[in-house]
Amino acid sequence: GEDVEQSLFLSVREGDSSVINCTYTDSSSTYLYWYKQEPGAGLQLLTYIFSNMDMKQDQRLTVLLNKKDKHLSLRIADTQTGDSAIYFCAECVNRDDKIIFGKGTRLHILP
């Protein structure tokens, strides 16, 4: 079946790196995504990675994909208060263009 799992909460000190982890089940996934949801707003695509890539870096964001273990992570370097949000991992199940979202990880920034 299709399922995306991620831990529900993460607390990080301002200036440290945040690492949010996710596991997925569908090996036919083509794209994997990280979406960010700020309070009172809809989800916004942060970054994505194609399934034949191992790593993608975009400024403070680093995405790592371990396809063998079906494990995806998002690293945010130098975490700022503005990074406080819920982060959703998602996979695109190519055979029917469906995107399956995890339940989201709430990132809390400590001063």
Candidates 29, 44, 52, 64; binder of another protein (CB under 8 A) is 44
Residues 38, 61: Cα–Cα separation, whole Å? 17
Q: How many CB atoms lie within 10 A of CB 54?
A: 10
**Can residue 13 be called a binding residue for another protein (CB under 8 A)?**
no
Q: State the minimum distance, in angstroms, from the CB of residue 11 to another protein.
A: 19
Residues 84, 79: Cα–Cα separation, whole Å? 9
Residues 37, 40: Cα–Cα separation, whole Å? 8
Residues 104, 6: Cα–Cα separation, whole Å? 7
Applying CB under 8 A, the span of 12-20, 59-67, 72-80, 90-98 interacting with another protein comes to 90-98
Applying CB under 8 A, the span of 18-26, 55-63, 65-73, 93-101 interacting with another protein comes to 93-101
Amino acid identity at 76 = I
Among residues 83 and 91, whose Cβ is nearest to another protein?
A: 91
**Can residue 99 be called a binding residue for another protein (CB under 8 A)?**
yes
What residue ranges bind another protein (CB under 8 A)?
31, 33, 35, 40-45, 48, 50, 88, 92, 96-104
